[in-house]
Chain A
Amino acid sequence: MLAAVGRLIPADGAGPGGIEAGVPEFIDRQMELPYGYGSYFYLKGPFHPDSPVTLGYQLRFTPREIYRQGIAEADAAARTSLGADFAGLGAARQDEFLASMQQGRLALPTVPAAALFGQLLENTKEGYFSDPIHGGNRDMVAWRWIGFPGARADFTDWIDQAGVAYPYGPVSIGGNRT
């Protein structure tokens, strides 16, 4: 997971990477919360995973199960075809492996690779951009990178200054500022 987050939002080039932003800690925490246990989703059967994709998520898995089972299966697939766990591949081969999951070209025994990839990318972006109160976006690095002022939530003094760059840095729910 750590290795994948490091490729989805890499440290390469300018701007904070997912690992330095604390995304793995965010995901760990989310997996211990009701979200991780699937409490936000309707997970009663029967399940029809072959329904048209436009009818949405139809798997039986909770987010925890997607990771627990999916990562083990993806690593096994990497060992078989590439001779190493995902974490042991170089950056270029990791990117290629992630792309094969994203496009559904990689076949895994129970968890569809695209579902594993989709959840990982979704959670990674959540951890990157959500308030630091949730464990990611450490020091509001992602907000500073894009220029989002976080929880300021008061633009009274900017209502009449449309088109002028907003000058203040982000604040967080916890009261941190930059």
Chain B
Amino acid sequence: MTSPPKNRPVDAVIIGYGWTGAILAKTLTDAGLSVVALERGPARDTSPDFEFPRIADELKHAIRGDLWQPLANETVTIRHRPDDLAVPYRKYGSFVLGNGVGGAGVHWNGQLWRASPEDLNLRSHIEQRYGKHFIPPDMTIQDYPVTFGELEPHFDHFEKVCGTSGVAGNLRGQIKSGGNPFEGPRSDEFPTPPLPAIFAAQLFEKAAAELGYKSFPTPAANSSIAYTNPYGVRLGPCNLCGFCERFGCFLYSKASPQTAILPILAGRQNLEVRPNSYVTRILLDDTGKIATGVLYIDEAGRELEQPASLVILSAFQMHNVRLLLLSKIGAPYDPASGKGVVGKNYAYQMCAETAAYFSEDVEINPFIGAGAAGQRVIDEFNSDHFDHSQVGFIGGSLIYAGATGGRPIDQMMVPPGTPAWGAGWKAAIRKHYRHSAPMGTQGSVMAYRDRYLSLDPTYTDSHGLPLLRITFDWHANEYKMAAYSAAKMEEIVRAMKPERQATILMRPGNPYDVRIYQSTHTTGGAIMGSNPSNSVINRYSQSWDVPNLFVYGASAFPQNIGYNPTGLLAGLAYFSAEKLRNAYLKSPGPLVSA
């Protein structure tokens, strides 16, 4: 067998050029390293790829998903239980995968949350407050090996990079009105003020206040003003255009790698970005302890080796786990024994929605909105912000209000009982489109012994490599959590006084349904932890097995949170990047002794 041609060796190779890839590209090129970034999808930039008016095309972007990973080439397989047959995720539904430069950071909603302090030491926090017996035996939740206080400067920095709009609720320990009173102490205000609430969010705000809840503006990576970030990159004000969630931003308002970081990397002589480059394996030396580079297929279809002294694995959560398994790095997780770590603790989020149908004199204007800006939210029933001792579950949900664009194909709401077609449907869409509003919960999902990721034994990608297999279904804890959160949401919606309201909620007996979009916040499988027997990476995102390999993204989360993951995963990446630059590059080797 002839070995594939080798490119010129570089100091570092980056796999996946989304948010964390861009963060690490900046850090490593700042430090003077020669860096090659390999991105599976095409090169993309605000101009011309997200230009108005072509971007304002619901069919192309929000239905067909031209910015998403083409499933024809690679998808995942899914089953509910370890003894079921997994079948391919053939069409998009439950989650959407990013593709191309910027990754999912192009078409995300820009909801930029920090984790709650207790989310990061969840197991010990729950044991301490409620007792060890409170955690079901098959619930495999773990503490992060890093604290809120350690991450806070990095959360703060990333919020500034993104021009995040919002209101502080806890400024250096002082609770401030108008913000989230449940957040951990922050060192600084948000860099830009919030946009005014859109109308549905105003109704929600008022109803929440009547019930004694403290609503606040959703932290939004949609800048509200002309703003220059710490890297000198300029962002523009969001105009609530309605083409945000699932679209690239044409206004340089929604932060993405393109709008916030990549402009300062353009032209760096020590950085080369190679789009359409599909990494198939991380290469190891004979000891299996040192990565020597990666094998990839370039845009011409040639298999090439890219030697590197440092490997940054910064693809999407699922792809990180798959590439570790394909590269045989770390012991694959075995649900029967509970041993092994790669693929362990896959988790998701559980969401519910209440649609409020108002009378025709209530002008919701659902097309005015953004992925995050203009929305309002409460955090009373998330994390451990309320006493769980009597509710019978762990975790919780955000409860939020606000339309993201009122997209007619995808987001048309009609009351239950309306026919799906015919004259009745046609009359109903006119009656309700401008006068209905969605409210939602977004809830945490804990980790379990029988929920995990592995390689599929049957199905392959377009190069013949095994697909990733997801084994996942809801557990009783999550059904209870979602029902509790949805009941609180319904109470708020009732106080908004719509003519009708209707809730969509997964109840016991409803299995995980991949046909319905729920959340792209998939987590785990390459989790961080305190030692090599419980995790894939250490607190600095460094592989326990291969110390010159660092893994970034939500694959690191030991279990999922009720918040959107980008703030936490970016915080973890900056925390790691600082240590990498200040310690690892001076003396490469394990940053935590095993």
For window 115-149 of A, CB contacts with B under 8 Å fall at 121, 124-126, 129-131, 133-134, 142-143, 145-149
| B44 interfacial contact with A, CB 8 Å | no
Inside 8 A of B237's CB, which chain A residues have their CB? 156
Bound together, the chains give a CA A131 to CA B275 distance in angstroms of 30
Query: Which of B85, B241, B429 is the one whose CB lies under 8 Å from A145?
Result: B429
Inside 8 A of A14's CB, which chain B residues have their CB? 427, 430
Bound together, the chains give a CA A39 to CA B367 distance in angstroms of 30
Chain B residue, CB-CB nearest to A58: B87
0 or 1 for each of A32-73: is its CB under 8 Å from B? (1 = yes): 000100111111101010011111111000000000000000
For window 62-118 of B, CB contacts with A under 8 Å fall at 63-65, 70-72, 74-75, 78-80, 85, 87-91, 93
Query: Which of B362, B363, B459 is the one whose CB lies under 8 Å from A166?
Result: B363
Interface residue tally for chain A (C-beta within 8 Å): 63
Inside 8 A of A124's CB, which chain B residues have their CB? 421
Inside 8 A of B187's CB, which chain A residues have their CB? none
Whether A163 pairs with B368 at a CB distance below 8 angstroms is no
**Smallest distance from the beta carbon of B500 to chain A beta carbons, Å?**
18
**Smallest distance from the beta carbon of B456 to chain A beta carbons, Å?**
11
Whether A162 pairs with B199 at a CB distance below 8 angstroms is yes
Whether B70 pairs with A40 at a CB distance below 8 angstroms is yes
Whether B75 pairs with A42 at a CB distance below 8 angstroms is yes
Given A9-B426, A48-B87, A51-B85; A153-B196 close (CB under 8 Å): no
Chain B residue, CB-CB nearest to A165: B363
| Residue among A38, A98, A146 having the largest count of chain B Cβ atoms under 10 Å | A146
**Smallest distance from the beta carbon of B419 to chain A beta carbons, Å?**
10
Whether B63 pairs with A126 at a CB distance below 8 angstroms is yes
Inside 8 A of A155's CB, which chain B residues have their CB? 239-242, 365, 367-368
Chain B residue, CB-CB nearest to A170: B367
| B147 interfacial contact with A, CB 8 Å | no
Bound together, the chains give a CA A171 to CA B420 distance in angstroms of 27
Inside 8 A of B374's CB, which chain A residues have their CB? 159
Inside 8 A of B433's CB, which chain A residues have their CB? 146-148
0 or 1 for each of A151-162: is its CB under 8 Å from B? (1 = yes): 101111011101
Bound together, the chains give a CA A27 to CA B57 distance in angstroms of 17
| A106 interfacial contact with B, CB 8 Å | no
**Smallest distance from the beta carbon of A26 to chain B beta carbons, Å?**
9
Bound together, the chains give a CA A12 to CA B122 distance in angstroms of 58
Chain A residue, CB-CB nearest to B410: A129
Bound together, the chains give a CA A46 to CA B459 distance in angstroms of 8
For window 377-430 of B, CB contacts with A under 8 Å fall at 406, 408-409, 412, 420-423, 425-427, 429-430
Whether A129 pairs with B363 at a CB distance below 8 angstroms is no
Whether A148 pairs with B90 at a CB distance below 8 angstroms is no
Chain A residue, CB-CB nearest to B75: A42
| Residue among A129, A134, A171 having the largest count of chain B Cβ atoms under 10 Å | A129
Whether B422 pairs with A7 at a CB distance below 8 angstroms is yes
| B460 interfacial contact with A, CB 8 Å | yes
Chain A residue, CB-CB nearest to B59: A130
**Smallest distance from the beta carbon of B370 to chain A beta carbons, Å?**
10
| B37 interfacial contact with A, CB 8 Å | no
Given A56-B93, A158-B368; A134-B59 close (CB under 8 Å): yes
| A8 interfacial contact with B, CB 8 Å | yes
Whether B430 pairs with A160 at a CB distance below 8 angstroms is no
Inside 8 A of A52's CB, which chain B residues have their CB? 80, 511
Given A40-B70, A42-B71; A51-B198 close (CB under 8 Å): no
**Smallest distance from the beta carbon of B35 to chain A beta carbons, Å?**
33
Bound together, the chains give a CA A142 to CA B197 distance in angstroms of 28
Chain B residue, CB-CB nearest to A26: B59
Bound together, the chains give a CA A58 to CA B514 distance in angstroms of 12
| A13 interfacial contact with B, CB 8 Å | yes
Whether B71 pairs with A55 at a CB distance below 8 angstroms is no
Query: Which of B88, B408, B427, B458 is the one whose CB lies under 8 Å from A42?
Result: B88
Query: Which of B79, B421, B434, B515 is the one whose CB lies under 8 Å from A9?
Result: B421
Bound together, the chains give a CA A128 to CA B300 distance in angstroms of 39
Inside 8 A of B72's CB, which chain A residues have their CB? 38-43
Chain B residue, CB-CB nearest to A102: B420
Whether B65 pairs with A162 at a CB distance below 8 angstroms is no
0 or 1 for each of B48-66: is its CB under 8 Å from A? (1 = yes): 0000111011110001110
| A-B CB contact pairs (8 Å), 9 listed | A40-B72, A42-B71, A57-B91, A124-B421, A133-B57, A145-B430, A146-B412, A156-B240, A166-B363
Taking Cβ atoms with an 8 Å cutoff, the residues of A that contact B are 7-10, 12-15, 17, 35, 38-44, 46, 48, 51-58, 95, 98, 102, 121, 124-126, 129-131, 133-134, 142-143, 145-151, 153-156, 158-160, 162-166, 171, 173, 175
Taking Cβ atoms with an 8 Å cutoff, the residues of B that contact A are 52-54, 56-59, 63-65, 70-72, 74-75, 78-80, 85, 87-91, 93, 195-199, 202, 237, 239-243, 250, 362-363, 365, 367-368, 374, 406, 408-409, 412, 420-423, 425-427, 429-430, 433-434, 458-460, 511-515
